[in-house]
Amino acid sequence: MKTRQTTQLVPHTVDGKTRLIPVPVDTPAPPRDWDALVLNGVTAIAAVVLTASVVWSTASIGDLLAHAVVKPAAYGAAVVFDLAWIACMAVEWLARYDEDRAVLPRRAGHVMLVLAMLAVAAHGKVAGYWEIGLIGAAVSALAKGLWTVVLRHQTPPLDARTRAWIQGELADAGASLALIPVRRQLQRAQAQVAAERAAIESRTDSGSADPDRPDEAADDPDADVLAIRPGAVTTKDAVRIAWDTGVRDDDAAARYVAKVTGKAPSPDTVARYMRLLRNGVAS
């Protein structure tokens, strides 16, 4: 039996104190995984074939386009033909657990592969060697076919119920991600509304806009001003609104919280929320 040397932690006591120390030990070596070796070899072959296909297609299509444009632009456009279907194939691999999402990149990859093959064949015809054009076009087909076989082999088969379960999990995760910008937009809107109301209250209190009529008491609220109801927002929400409107001082934030919530907040609570916002860890 083949063995290999590894380390194992064993207790060792010196002067009444025990520590775990690494000790070399011989353990049975696992058998060689020929399946993994073969798969790695096939993947390497597919990578070499893909590289050769990109080089050949770029050279052929670039030489064809060079008849009309300068060579740097021609070869820059030529490499797009193969990179397009390669990118579609990569997206198809990423969607391997969702067959519905993998259909579009698979079909798009086939269309882009046909366009690349037609361009290579056209170069052979223009050069006067249509046989070489057909053979060159087959190189791209062989590269994509080989990669399709490799990727399909590594795609685990899933039954319909498992695929439906995975789609449900992805839908939940997608909904959570979609709510992030929605919440940010809502917070910005709430902050703008709160800032506008605070500005209106400030102008009203100073008597610079819409003063009380002579028949109204000085302490009566104006009917046209929509004041924030006390208790409509929490201290944390009010601190967040003050922060979004540009308030950075703890005392100013406390005064704003008192105005919005209708009660004096704890200075320590306001300072803690402001500290979290400065550190960028407040939710």
Instruction: Show the 3-state SS of the chain.
Output: CCEEEEEEEEEEEECCEEEEEEEEEEEECCCCCHHHHHHHHHHHHHHHHHHHHHHHHHHHHHHHHCCCCCHHHHHHHHHHHHHHHHHHHHHHHHCCCCHHHHHHHHHHHHHHHHHHHHHHHHHHHHHCCHHHHHHHHHHHHHHHHHHHHHHHHHCCCCCHHHHHHHHHHHHHHHHHHHHHHHHHHHHHHHHHHHHHHHHHHHHHHHCCCCCCCCCCCCCCCCCCCCCCCCCCCCHHHHHHHHHHCCCCCHHHHHHHHHHHHCCCCCHHHHHHHHHHHHHCCCC
- Domain positions in the chain are 37-156, 177-198+222-279
Q: In tens digits, what is the pLDDT along the chain, a chain of 283 residues?
A: 677 888 888 898 998 899 999 988 888 877 888 888 998 999 999 999 999 999 999 999 999 999 889 999 999 999 999 999 999 999 999 988 888 888 999 999 999 999 999 999 999 989 888 888 899 999 999 999 999 999 888 888 888 888 888 888 888 888 888 889 888 888 888 888 888 888 787 766 555 444 444 444 444 444 443 344 544 678 888 888 888 888 888 888 888 888 888 888 888 888 888 888 887 765 5
pTM greater than 0.85 (yes/no)? no
